[in-house]
Amino acid sequence: MKLFKIATIVLAALWLCAQPAHADSLLFTDQFPTSDWKQRWEVVRNFQPHTPSEPCMNQQWPALWEVRNNFLGITLDGPPCVTEIVPKSEFLDLTMFPIIHINSAGFFLRRCSPIAT
């Protein structure tokens, strides 16, 4: 019972002290026009962990990144896999930013505050 009270107090304190988090500033966004997105983006990873020589699959075909209605996406319907697409370095220079977070749901890049040491 004592452990329950302590846990309740700790959780209540965390809940009361929680503050919303916000990203610093929007650094980059892309509308993904269908004609030239491959000139600005590249697939850097596309493999199945259990068979690294095999790409991600969409049923019996290799899964491909594609633009539909100005949204970039990939259809995965096969074994577990890893795929990653990033902006090409000549299109977006990120060397001036120490920490970058890529939100894969919307492909927005935001600068994150450095971790205090």
Q: According to the model, what pLDDT value does residue 17 have?
A: 66
pLDDT band at 32 (very low <50, low <70, confident <90, very high): confident
- Which residue type, as a one-letter code, is found at position 9? I
Handedness of CA 108, 111, 116, 117 (dihedral sign): positive
Question: Is pLDDT above 50 for 115?
Answer: no
Task: Say which range, 2-6, 18-22, 75-79, 87-91, has the weakest mean pLDDT.
Answer: 18-22
d(CA 31, CA 11) in angstroms, rounded, equals 42
Q: What is the pLDDT of residues 65-92, one digit of tens each?
A: 988 877 888 899 999 999 998 888 777 7
